[in-house]
Amino acid sequence: MGKLNVLDHPLIQHKLSILRDKNTSVKEFRELVGEIAALMCFEATRDLPTEEVEVETPVARAKVRRLAGKKMAVVPILRAGLGMVDGILQLIPGAKVGHIGLYRDPETLEPVEYYCKLPKDISEREIIVIDPMLATGGSASAAIDFIKQHGGRHIRLMCIIGAPEGAEKVLRDHSDVDIYVAAMDEKLNEHGYIVPGLGDAGDRIFGTK
Ligand code: PRP
Ligand code: URA
């Protein structure tokens, strides 16, 4: 069974408090999404394997540790997931970036796919799927399905705010996937919005409302 991890580092919580505020500007919102993504990435990659190598410092030879194992891929769910990409690439500049375009039908709340482009060697990569919001879990679960259909195997999901319904769905549909959120909120409202949440993440990142 996958694990649900709540990353409640004080810096993440502080930034999240500003993100939730309806008076936060589009510019500040976008910057905060990137900063939170970077901080979450730092925490969510704690278990990456390392190996010992030797380097020559200006003073002596030293045994040091470097990342070992699989290379990384980041897969944002369009459109709101795009806001998290740069923050992650700051920490993992060598990661390849795949894209999955999904929107949630406002009536049925079911995810509708409109784009999918993944790195060719996705099956050999450690994959982080990113989306600020995990509401019903329909979008995240469908995105993980697509990645698995393309051969992806080692997948973790990183969302800024989750709802219990969404986390349960993803863990039920994908028992091999660990989830990382900065906060688990109370519930969904009748329109499928997370309560208290932060509103529509895509609109707040891109200023479309
Ligand atoms: C939002 C959000 C997730 C999805 C979460 O995207 O960014 O992708 O809803 O909802 P779910 O867990 O119920 O599927 P939206 O469909 O609003 O598209 P956008 O990113 O283009 O704004
Ligand atoms: N998508 C969002 O952007 N916000 C929510 O609260 C739920 C889905």
Tell me the per-residue pLDDT of 83-112, one tens digit each, with 9 for 90 and over.
Answer: 999 999 999 999 999 999 998 888 898 889
Ligand 1, pocket-test mutation among 104, 184, 206, most atoms within 8 A of CB: 104
2 DSSP assignment: -
Cα of 187 to ligand 2 centre, how many Å? 12
Ligand in nearest proximity to the CA of 99: 1
- For residue 109, the model assigns a pLDDT of 87
Q: Which of 79, 104, 125, 156 is catalytic?
A: 104
Across-strand partners of 156? 128, 178
**Cβ-contact 14, 36 below 8 angstroms:** no
pLDDT in tens, 139-195: 999 999 999 999 999 999 999 999 999 999 999 999 999 999 999 999 999 999 999
Residue type present at position 16: L
Band (34; pLDDT cuts 50, 70, 90): very high
Q: Is 45 designated active site? A: no
Is the pLDDT at 20 greater than 90, yes or no? yes
CB count within 10 Å of CB 105 equals: 11
Q: Give the whole-number percent of the chain exceeding pLDDT 90.
A: 94
Q: Considering all CA atoms of the chain, what is the largest pairwise distance in Å, rounded to the nearest integer?
A: 66
Distance 33 CA to ligand 2 centre (A): 14
- The reported pLDDT for the residue numbered 209 is 87
Arithmetic mean of pLDDT over the chain? 96
Ligand 1 centroid to residue 115 C-alpha, Å? 14
Instruction: Decide if 104 is catalytic.
Output: yes
Counting ligands in written order, the one closest to the CA of 201 is 2
| pLDDT over 90 at 40, yes or no | yes
> Can you count the helices (H) and strands (E) in the chain?
6, 13
Amino acid at 163: A
Q: Mean pLDDT over residues 69-82, rounded?
A: 95
List 157's β-bridge partners, or say none.
Answer: 129, 179
What does the pLDDT read at residue 103?
87
Q: What angle do CA 28, 31, 34 make, to 5 degrees?
A: 150
